[in-house]
Amino acid sequence: MSDDWNAFITEVEPAPAADGPLARRRLAVKDLIDTAGIRTTYGSRLYADHVPDRTATAVQRLVDAGAVVVGKTHLPEFAWSVLGQSPWYGTCRNPTRPGKTTGGSSSGSAAALAGGLCDLALGTDTGCSIRLPAAACDVVGLKSQWGLISIDGVFPLVPTIDTVGPMARSVEDVALAWSVLTGRPVPEAGLAGLTVGLLRGAPAVGGAFVPDPSDLAEQWVADLERLGARVVEREIPEPAASTWPLFDHEAAISHRATFPSRADEYGDLIREKLERALEVDPADVERAYAAVREWRLYEPDVDLYVSPCVTVDLPPEDVPEPDVRFAISAYLRWVNMIGWAALAVGNLQLIAPRDEVVLAAGLAWERG
């Protein structure tokens, strides 16, 4: 099939498939994730000709289960953007909403799914990067609970919050891929008897931006209740300090081998972000780490939460990233910091501390 959406940076001739639960499923892999013998650019100019000699654990598990890699998908430079724009590889286009952003940074994975170029995809999510493209392109994506799915062989951005997760056109396919990635059984579908917290707001993760309240989650209440859930209004507590210094500190460490020594080989957007990251106050970093450790001890009094992924109008594909960075990701970023799982089914976001809970709820939702 023709890639009309610039979803792939590198297309691959599929290898013979192994037998298994994913036999002959076409797999698109975000180009942040290593694949032995296949060019892996990390969306950058620095690694434009990089060919790893290893395959990331997550990819290998899917291939061993029968999936066949068909390409390495578009992403913004080093996966540090909420849009599908790249100074080196062009703009990824949205098959579902032409002219609108695909979201980032797993832009190509979502576009390839929406455009029918693959059956499964792997993405990464450090602040919104699976769920935002899933919402923008109307596919399904799992931001796994932190630490469950191996990030071995993935170029790091912020290791304290980096995650890898499966994407597909259905919750059923995401759950099957998740089972292969984790070695755990696919959860039984179920919402009956669960208490769901309706979120009309999102906690701020620090800085000047405060998310606006939204009533968008109201649209899903009747169906959740029809499926046997009890829906109650809830809020998520705020962290005790801004978490951004943690993000900037770890991002600077991830790039210290090449930045600032090779700063001229970075695009303008990420160069500016890294320059700011180098100036972070160590005392603020310590406070951020303490706040995140404390926040991750929070135990909710509901089984899961429901919220939108995106509460603002989807911007055009060529909008300047700083204009929309915080508003478009406000209901997504906090989940990474608290370390929980979140499943995006289009713009519907199901959130809980554990993957099994959001997958079970998502399966029940999909089957109606």
List Cβ<8 Å contacts ≥24 apart for 147-150.
Answer: 147/339, 148/182, 148/355, 149/58, 149/178, 149/181, 149/182, 150/56, 150/57, 150/58, 150/181
From 44, 81, 86, 105, the catalytic residue: 105
Q: Is 144 among the residues known to form the active site? A: no
Q: Is 129 among the residues known to form the active site? A: yes
The token pair that represents 31 in the structure block: 């180009």
d(CA 258, CA 240): 33
From 106, 129, 179, 307, the catalytic residue: 129
What is the Cβ-side half-sphere exposure of residue 301, based on CA atoms within 13 angstroms?
Answer: 6
Q: Where are the alpha helices (DSSP H) in the chain?
A: 57-64, 107-114, 131-137, 171-182, 221-226, 244-254, 268-277, 282-295, 321-329, 333-338, 355-367
Number of continuous H segments (helices) and E segments (strands) in the chain: 11, 13
Buried b (16+ CB within 10 A) or exposed e, 11-27: ebeeeebeeeebeebbb
| Residues involved in catalysis | 30, 105, 129
